[in-house]
Amino acid sequence: MSEVQLRGGAVADRTYEHVVRMADVSMHYGAVRALSEINFAVGRNEIVGLLGDNGAGKSTLIKILTGVQKPTAGDMYVRDEKIDWSGYSVRRAHELRFETVYQESSLCEMQPLWRNFFVGRQITNRFGFIDVKKQKEIAQDILLNAIGFRGAGITVDSRVSDLSGGERQGISIGRAMYFDADLIVLDEPTVALAVKEVRKVLDFVRSIKESGRACIYIEHNLAHVYEVADRLVILDRGRVVAEIARGELSLAELTQYLIDLHDKRDQHADG
Amino acid sequence: MAEIKSHRTVFERIEGLPVLLALMLIIGIFMITAPRSFLGVRVYMSFFATVPPPLIIGLGLTLVIAAGEIDLSFPSVVKMSGIVFAMTNKFIAFPLDTDADGFVGSEGVTNLLPWLFLVLAVGVGMAIGFLNGLLVTMVGIPSIIATLATLFVFEGLSIIIGGGQQYSLRGIDEYTVHAALTGRIGIVPVQVIWALLAAVAIWFLLNRHKFGEHLMFIGDNENVARVVGVNVKREKIKMFVLMGALGAVAGVMVTLENKNFYTTQGTAFLLIVMAAVFIGGTAITGGKGNIPGTFFGSFMVGCIEAGIISSGLGGFWTRLVVGLVFLAAVIFHLSIEDPTRMKRLVGIRPSSDGLLARRATSPPG
Ligand SMILES: Nc1ncnc2c1ncn2[C@@H]1O[C@H](COP(=O)(O)OP(=O)(O)OP(=O)(O)O)[C@@H](O)[C@H]1O
Ligand SMILES: [Mg+2]
């Protein structure tokens, strides 16, 4: 059994309190208010579980955080320093050592795995030509240790379209594990995985904690989040409605709390 | 390490191989139907002179299609670069060199002027490409619409600039720019060497450079490309600019080869370049591009046009045959891409029988 391992350790060159902090961030899609004045922070060695109903705004929040989208209002601080939105992008987020496994596939179907691992940050020479050999070697390593693989005929030259859903997810997670980051964002990483593979993802989250890094973990399975998170943040209709520290509630109480929240919302909608 | 069985056939692994074989087959057929031209060397030298301009454009178009976009404006880029190159030479370079016995180029500063005008013409092509890129990425017009519009606009502009006239460049072969772009090495037109170099360079750009990789990812899935950190807008603009530059080089080549700017130059390229790219195996769906395919596909189209006429069939047959070859090629590429689709197609009859049979046996309700 290969163990889930992280490369290297967290950047310790500068001390900071929060690896990321959002202040009054709002996001509208036309008339849809996906996020309203969100205040959200992640400590430098903290695992934050992000919970909420479908459409609560979880994915939107992390897309803003990782530079995929720009918010309509609000500020963000990375390692306690304010971010200039105009210069913020996925590339910048990579440079800031943020790594993300998105809910939707972030792999391109027709392209081979070795390209999918490195696209956006290829190993190149001075003129931008890709070092194919080196990329394939590293991709091979990632593949050997990747979650969800039984080594069944898949090589670095395989196209993503030849992979099962779980294998694809394993590739995305493997990519996030390789690009050693200070903040790893996992948006429902376990949905397509078998039970045993889910354990490996949870082990991975624990190893993030142990190596002194931070993680935002989005997951609908409460037991899983409960198991690994230091703190839970609950989103409801684009607002932070609760923050629960580890041990504050039992799993049963947490479940009841979320059900109540849901019911209240339904009553609100009916009334 | 365990050998992994590859499902990919030799046809897939050696890029452009089927197109090369088809090209050889077609040449073989014409050797029988038109032996007088196709068994000689001259016809091939004529291909080497006329195929490179559309081929060079096809290389650029392969990148554009790999990125999931299209560019229809290149015939007008060929016109614009041609008219700029022709008029600047005719009205600036030539008068400086005219003396009692005609032109004396090939010496001194004036010999460099046509090179400068070549750069200017390429600049014009890049500017048109840049405009296309802005319309597509910043204004958000689908590329098929945006470049159709610029196709009209710049054809119109080229007529306005040139007053609808043709410009003879008799004497341009006195200058080094002519020898460099469209001269002859022995009997071999140098433009075929440029075309080959361009094909190699663009193959590396597409398959080994991060720019090419970004284009393939954009063509594959633009949202994913954005999420993994590709600057989609910037890469697309760069791509259209490159396409404009290649179109302009082709335009100057045409003008130099003819030693004349014709107002219709490039018009015929629209269809033959697209046919060459698709015959070459690049799919309209984007995500990848087949550079060797475009290379041989361009020669195939040129070959068919010449071969039909030499076989005594009459010019109107060329379109029909190119169209049929085009169809056959696309079906062939589809069948390699997705073998099951072909089986389904071939097995239409049995499978519909099967459907009937299943219906007959399935329980009611
Ligand atoms: N690109 C978009 N355009 C318009 N509306 C959007 C877009 N993306 C998200 N939304 C809306 O924003 C709200 C929040 O969506 P989001 O994807 O953040 O939810 P989520 O909490 O991740 O849900 P889930 O648990 O189902 O993944 C939803 O109402 C959704 O419809
Ligand atoms: Mg989501």
User: At B350, is the secondary structure helix, strand, or coil?
Assistant: helix
Residue B305 · residue B356 · CB < 8 Å: no
Q: How far is the CA of A34 from the centre of ligand 1 (A)?
A: 6
Least confident of A88-97, A183-192, B338-347: B338-347
| B2 — pLDDT class (breaks 50, 70, 90) | very low
- Shortest CA distance to B305 belongs to which of B296, B317, B297, B293? B317
The pLDDT value recorded for residue B109 is 61
Q: Is B229's CB within 8 Å of A91's CB? A: yes
Please give the single-letter amino acid code of residue B293.
Answer: G
Interior angle at CA B182, CA B178 and CA B185, nearest 5:
105
Please give the mean pLDDT across all residues of chain A.
88
Please give the single-letter amino acid code of residue B232.
Answer: V
Residue A80 is part of a domain; what is its CATH number?
3.40.50.300
Task: Report d(CA B297, CA B276) in Å as an integer.
Answer: 5
Percent with pLDDT over 70 in chain B: 86
| B193 — pLDDT class (breaks 50, 70, 90) | very high
- Domain, as residue range, for A87: 3-270
The pLDDT value recorded for residue B199 is 98
Stretch B319-335: mean pLDDT, rounded?
88
| B310 — pLDDT class (breaks 50, 70, 90) | confident
Number of compact structural domains in chain A: 1
Please check whether residue B5 touches A, CB under 8 A.
Answer: yes
Q: What would the two tokens of residue A58 be?
A: 């979880």
Residue B1 has pLDDT above 70, yes or no: no
Distance, first Cα to last Cα, chain A:
55
Q: How far is the CA of B169 from the centre of ligand 2 (A)?
A: 64
Task: Report d(CA B236, CA A208) in Å as an integer.
Answer: 37
> What are the residue ranges of helices labelled H in B222-268?
222-227, 232-258
The pLDDT value recorded for residue A146 is 77
A100 strand-pairing partners: A185
Task: Report d(CA B196, CA A52) in Å as an integer.
Answer: 58
* pLDDT tens, residue by residue, A133-177: 999 999 998 888 877 776 678 889 999 998 888 888 888 888 988
Element (H, E) at B262: none
Residue A270 has pLDDT above 70, yes or no: no
* pLDDT tens, residue by residue, B62-117: 999 999 999 999 999 999 999 999 999 999 888 877 665 555 545 556 788 899 99
Please give the mean pLDDT across all residues of chain B.
88
Task: Report d(CA A66, CA A182) in Å as an integer.
Answer: 13
Residue B293 · residue B17 · CB < 8 Å: no
Least confident of A91-95, B247-251, B356-360: B356-360
Percent with pLDDT over 90 in chain B: 71
The pLDDT value recorded for residue B312 is 85
CA nearest ligand 1 atom 22, residue: A59
Q: What would the two tokens of residue A48 be?
A: 């934050």
| Residue B77 DSSP one-character state | H
Residue A64 has pLDDT above 50, yes or no: yes
The pLDDT value recorded for residue B358 is 42
Interior angle at CA B315, CA B310 and CA B318, nearest 5:
90
* pLDDT tens, residue by residue, B271-299: 999 999 999 999 999 999 999 999 999 99
User: At B190, is the secondary structure helix, strand, or coil?
Assistant: coil
Q: How far is the CA of A142 from the centre of ligand 2 (A)?
A: 26
CA nearest ligand 1 atom 26, residue: A54
* pLDDT tens, residue by residue, B133-173: 999 999 999 999 999 999 999 999 999 999 999 999 988 98
Residue B3 has pLDDT above 50, yes or no: no
Domains of chain B: 2-339 (1.10.3470)
Residue A26 · residue A44 · CB < 8 Å: no
Distance, first Cα to last Cα, chain B:
54
Q: Which residue, among B210, B242, B336, B337, would best test binding to A if mutated, counting the most A CBs under 10 Å from its CB?
A: B210
pTM of the entire structure? 0.88
Q: What would the two tokens of residue B245 be?
A: 């530059």
